[in-house]
Amino acid sequence: MEESGSSSIGMKRTNLDLNDELGKLVMPGDEFCIPDDSSKVILGPGLRSVIDKPSGELKTIVGCKAGLLRKAKPNTFFLEMKTRSYQSFKKDDVLGIIKQKSKGEHYSIDVACRELRAQLSKNAFEGATKRYRPDLQVGDCIYGKVMDFPKDYPLELTCVQPSGKACGLGSLNGGHIFHVPVHFVRALRTANPKDNLLQKIGKIVPCETAVGANGLVWIKASNAVLTILVSQLLQTLSKANPEEYGTYLNKFNSTVRTVV
């Protein structure tokens, strides 16, 4: 058929170029050709490679979700989309709430993902030994890292980095914990100072924060009223357009002035 360009939207597209399609919408089934230069390409969520069965050679790259094609610095491509469900991935920092404290060696923890409970060893804290280890209670909030286990293993967390230091991981005292959509976490955790929302909020209200990749956010400001205000602001922002962030922050600024 002679149709091309925007009129062919809706049909499966083939032989797309990864660099040409950056920032554009990819639908499931859209096929990309493999880049000619032999530089390594890393595929993130939403993209997968199709391997030709008999020869074992890489055939095409196929999009399998509806999202915008994005590129991270060293040749990593992935699809960005709105999602509300978190899928655990190794080395992710997550926030969890202790749901059960058994007599054995583990706490069982709710990390708001598809596996109902994650395990956390009672010894996986900085400086913990069999005799001296932190005694956590049911309902306590912890900031942990997903252990680097093979696929389909039960989910396990740790509160200590491989170096033996905690580096911010561990139990969080006081504050307030709440849920935001998973795609909003990106806006909170980005290292780019221009986009980082938490830095902008921190200039208005100084507060301690911990943002888990699973969409849970922990906030602790100097008093309870400010903590609640910040949490309400973040929940509002998670539903707003990125263009509206500025106006919301200005409003928040004037509200905080009246409270303090």
Partner 1 sequence: MESAASEKHEEGEEEQQQDEDETPYCPFFSNSELFAFMTKERFLREEEIAGVDESSFQFVRPMRAKLSILENPHGSVRFWQGLTCVIAAVYGPSDVRMSKELPHRAAVDVLFRPKVTGSGNMSAMLAAGLMDPLMEERAIEQTVVGILESVIHLEDHVQAGFNVILHEIENDGCLVSACVNATVLALLSAGCSLRNVVCAVTLGVSGDSVVVDPCAKQIQDIQKSMGKDACKSNGLLTFVLTNSHGFVPQILHVSCKGRVLPSELKTCYKLVCSGKIVQEVVRFFYLCISKDLKYSEGNGVEKIEEQVEMEPGEVESSSGDEVDEDGE
Smallest Cα–Cα separation from 28: which of 61, 56, 1, 77? 61
Nearest CA among 94, 172, 96, 159 for reference residue 133: 159
CA distances for 22 relative to 8, 48, 73, angstroms: 18, 16, 13
The yes or no reply on residue 174 touching partner 1 (CB under 8 A) is no
* 4, 33, 100, 115: which one binds partner 1 (CB under 8 A): 115
| 166 in contact with partner 1 (CB under 8 A) | no
Residue 10 binding partner 1, by CB under 8 A: yes
Binding of residue 80 to partner 1 (CB under 8 A):
yes
Give yes or no for residue 23 binding partner 1 (CB under 8 A). Answer: yes
DSSP at 237:
H
Task: Give min distance, CB of 42 to partner 1, in A.
Answer: 5
Q: Of residues 17, 52, 58, 165, which one binds partner 1 by CB under 8 A? A: 58
Q: Does 70 bind partner 1 (CB under 8 A)?
A: yes
DSSP 172-209: E-SSEEEE--HHHHHHHH---TTT-HHHHHHHHS-EEE
Q: Residue 126 or 195: which CB sits closer to partner 1?
A: 195
33 or 259: CB nearest partner 1:
33
Cβ atoms of residues 190 and 242 within 8 Å: no
**The one among 147, 160, 204, 213 contacting partner 1 by CB under 8 A:** 213
